[in-house]
Amino acid sequence: MRTLAMGATAFGVILGLGALGAAAGALTAPVLARRWGPGPMMLTALAITPLTQLPLLLAYPGLRWQITLGAALFLQLACAGAAGTTQRSIRQIITTVGMQARMQAVSTWLTAGARPVAALLAGGLGTWIGVRPTLTVGTFLLLVPLVVLAHSPLRALRHMPDQQPAAPRTGGDPVPPSPPLRTAPAAVPTPARAEDARHDRSPGGDAT
């Protein structure tokens, strides 16, 4: 904020645009995943994310740069929201029911637990080498998840794990996928009432 001579109001507006971008990315994630495939969509989102850091590295004081930073943060968090929502959905689909809580706990521990350590390292590095060089290091670190995903089987994932592609008909029209088979819940047996069960009767003679 000091380097860009940015006031608290402008800073708050930029952060608000970022929050709107995260919501937009999360809401459009299912549509994008169906259209382009979960793997390619996440790969594209992770490839765009480092590019959205460039305006922050090049910015100077002024309203024009503030608008640019707001748009860049909107796009960055939209990509993060779309990719994050999709990868969490994939994790929940492929994880067995009995391991769901453990999987979520480990994921939360890895992400939330790393933030205080990363904040300390970023603050120390910013004090040591300066703000812009530290942001440059952070931009290159954003390439790490892109490289990991590009070398994983997820990059070729065209459908969510519980979805099957539609088979083409003879005439070329796709056949809608058949719904997944669902087994009927087992009937819960109820104890049979004995025919000779005794019934208490009130003084008036009515059965209770």
Q: What are the residues whose beta carbons fall under 8 Å from the beta carbon of 134, sequence distance 6 or more? A: 122, 125, 126
| Residue 8 to residue 11: CA distance in whole angstroms | 5
* pTM summary value: 0.72
For tokens 């603050």, what's the residue? Answer: 123
| Residue 147 to residue 185: CA distance in whole angstroms | 44
**Tens-binned pLDDT, residue by residue, of the chain (208 aa):** 888 999 999 999 999 999 999 999 999 999 999 999 999 999 999 999 999 999 999 999 999 999 999 999 999 999 999 999 999 999 999 999 899 999 999 999 998 999 999 999 999 999 999 999 999 999 999 999 999 999 999 888 988 887 544 444 444 445 444 444 344 444 444 444 444 444 444 444 444 4
Q: For the chain, what is the largest distance between any 2 Cα atoms, rounded to a whole number of angstroms?
A: 95
What is the model's pLDDT at position 163? 52
What is the model's pLDDT at position 192? 46
- 127: amino acid identity, one letter: T
What is the model's pLDDT at position 3? 86
Q: What are the residues whose beta carbons fall under 8 Å from the beta carbon of 55, sequence distance 6 or more? A: 65, 68, 69, 72
Among 173, 158, 185, 196, smallest CA distance to 43 is for: 158
What is the model's pLDDT at position 160? 87
